[in-house]
Amino acid sequence: MGPARDAALVDLSKIIVTGCLLALLSGCAAEPPRTYTPPTGADAEACLQVCKSGRFACRTEALQEYEGCQQIYEYRLQRWRACVQTRGERRCAGQKPFPCPSPAYQRCTDGYDSCFLGCGGRID
């Protein structure tokens, strides 16, 4: 990779991290505890099992995305440290990577809630 491509990746990383941080900060207000009232009926348990399976798969995917981001971050951090060692921090300042945001579990909760309501449950 050339310097222009590295700079573009750094810029893209900054945009992605900034967007993720804004998304996280917009949801920082403490939510009151919620009460889940499960649906009743013959198909209710099977429907809720689909919701739980979907939430588990979503959380697994979010964690895998985070771990992938961490691997890229560690690689870029190593490259930045090597740059600092050979060229000095000032000449490598634009290459310093941003850490990864926490796993995006909120989307999994939102999806589960929609599914739960679709099964006939209630969330207060």
pLDDT in tens, 52-98: 999 999 999 999 999 999 999 999 999 999 999 999 988 998 889 99
| Residue at 30: amino acid letter | A
Q: What mean pLDDT do residues 16-39 have?
A: 62
Phi, psi of 104 (to 5 degrees): -85, 70
DSSP H or E segment with residue 19: helix 3-26
pLDDT tier at 102 (50, 70, 90 boundaries)? very high
Which distant-in-sequence residues (6+ apart) come within 8 Å of 99 by Cβ? 17, 73
pTM score of the predicted model: 0.66
Break the chain into its structural domains and give their ranges.
46-124
Task: Identify the residue with better confidence: 31 or 5.
Answer: 31
